[in-house]
């Protein structure tokens, strides 16, 4: 495993947690001071790279491997599905624990099965998405490994066009069906392309920073302009599948590839448990909110709000890691945890 991949995964994991703490304040448009809302908007705009970078990392890691179909399916699906099922059950119990006496055993099982089809909690959508991509990896891998750089660029060009469908530009596009190239599969191929075919260097870091900054600016300004203009929250350009989010995600990925070559025991352990941290962090965050509910936070002060968001995010990340690390001590339980 390349060190920059591990370090990027750790950064993306924390970014998702930070995003989940900041996002509720974005939803309070016209309910908190405009300055505080703009702070939340800026943080949310900057953190949009979390999910795209996760998918890009998977593409960088998986599309260049050579392994039999059976090996890939058994290893990868086991690695993803077992913790997913375990934590899905945990979240189901978390949501319905107070209502168990109202249901028969059969009704509970039916409810559980229905929830498993869509997700027992909001952040688990990512697992359904990545599982869908993994099912195609054995096919896409053969194509990617035998494609020229130009052919990969052609695919990514078509995919980039599909990103415009999620913007106001969509009405100007012809009705040519290009959705075969759409959604998160593009990020998957993009990660492979950037890892294999783009050589990074420190002199180019300013360019990568510009990608990130420009993408953030587009996201931030569009949300600000549209929300103020319409006098209600408009986060159309927060969409992970929008050109601006793609641009800032490319900037982060290339900066990571250029700079994040170091490694130590802590970063390795954080990376090893990143999936478990992602799965458990929403539950941890819930109890942190409950335990800090008595705190008086001036949400109308950008500085107070910033300190609160950063503090809650760091505590959530640390506790989530500690919980997963502790549970994973048991070797029999470990495959179900992380």
Q: Tens digit of pLDDT for each residue in 270-307?
A: 999 999 999 999 999 999 999 998 888 899 999 999 99
156: number of Cβ within 10 Å? 17
Q: What is the pLDDT of residue 108?
A: 83
Percent pLDDT > 90 in the chain is: 78
- Is residue 10's pLDDT more than 90? yes
User: Two tokens at 319?
Assistant: 């506790």
Q: What is the pLDDT of residue 219?
A: 98
Q: What is the pLDDT of residue 295?
A: 85
Q: What is the pLDDT of residue 74?
A: 87
Task: Return the residue matching tokens 């050109």.
Answer: 243
- Is residue 140's pLDDT more than 80? yes
Q: What is the pLDDT of residue 310?
A: 98
Say how far apart CA 88 and CA 82 lie, in whole Å: 10
Dihedrals φ, ψ of 284, to 5°? -60, -45
**Each residue's pLDDT tens digit, 33-92:** 999 999 999 999 999 999 999 999 999 999 999 888 889 888 888 899 999 999 999 999
Is the Cβ–Cβ distance between 240 and 48 less than 8 Å?
yes
Residues 6+ apart with CB under 8 A from 232: 29, 30
- Is residue 133's pLDDT more than 80? yes
Say how far apart CA 234 and CA 242 lie, in whole Å: 14
Say how far apart CA 18 and CA 21 lie, in whole Å: 5
Say how far apart CA 88 and CA 131 lie, in whole Å: 15
Q: What is the pLDDT of residue 132?
A: 92
Question: Which is more confident, 209 or 176?
Answer: 209
User: Two tokens at 155?
Assistant: 């695919």
- Is residue 177's pLDDT more than 80? no
Evaluated on CA atoms 277, 282, 285, 287, the torsion sign reads negative
Task: Return the residue matching tokens 């060190």.
Answer: 3
User: Two tokens at 157?
Assistant: 């060009």
- Is residue 99's pLDDT more than 80? no
pTM to 2 decimal places: 0.94
């Amino acid at each position: 495993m390349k060190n920059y991949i591990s370090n990027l995964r750790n950064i993306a994991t924390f970014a998702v947690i930070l995003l989940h703490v900041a996002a509720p304040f974005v939803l309070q448009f016209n309910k908190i001071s405009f300055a505080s809302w703009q702070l939340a908007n800026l943080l949310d705009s900057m953190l949009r790279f979390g999910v795209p970078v996760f998918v890009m990392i998977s593409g960088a890691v998986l599309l260049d491997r050579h392994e039999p179909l059976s090996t890939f399916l058994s290893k990868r699906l086991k690695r993803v599905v077992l913790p997913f099922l375990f934590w899905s059950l945990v979240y189901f119990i978390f949501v319905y624990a107070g209502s168990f006496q109202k249901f028969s055993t059969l009704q509970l099982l039916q409810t559980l099965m229905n929830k498993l089809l869509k997700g027992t909690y909001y952040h688990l959508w990512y697992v359904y998405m990545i599982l869908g991509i993994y099912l195609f990896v054995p096919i896409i891998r053969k194509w990617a490994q035998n494609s020229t750089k130009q052919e990969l660029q052609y695919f990514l060009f078509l995919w980039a066009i599909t990103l415009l469908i999620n913007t106001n530009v969509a009405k100007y596009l012809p009705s040519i069906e290009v959705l075969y190239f759409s959604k998160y599969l593009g990020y998957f191929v993009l990660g492979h392309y950037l890892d294999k075919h783009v050589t990074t260097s420190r002199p180019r870091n300013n360019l990568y920073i510009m990608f990130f900054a420009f993408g953030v600016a587009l996201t931030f300004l569009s949300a600000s302009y549209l929300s103020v203009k319409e006098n209600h929250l408009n986060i159309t350009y927060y969409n992970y599948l929008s050109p601006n989010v793609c641009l800032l995600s490319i900037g982060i990925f290339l900066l990571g590839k250029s700079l994040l070559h170091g490694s130590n025991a802590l970063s390795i352990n954080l990376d090893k448990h990143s999936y478990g941290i992602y799965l458990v962090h929403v539950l941890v965050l819930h109890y942190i909110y409950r335990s800090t509910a008595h705190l008086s936070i001036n949400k109308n002060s950008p500085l107070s709000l910033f300190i609160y968001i950063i503090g809650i995010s760091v505590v959530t990340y640390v506790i989530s890691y500690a919980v997963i690390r502790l549970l994973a001590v048991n070797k029999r339980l470990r495959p179900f945890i992380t």
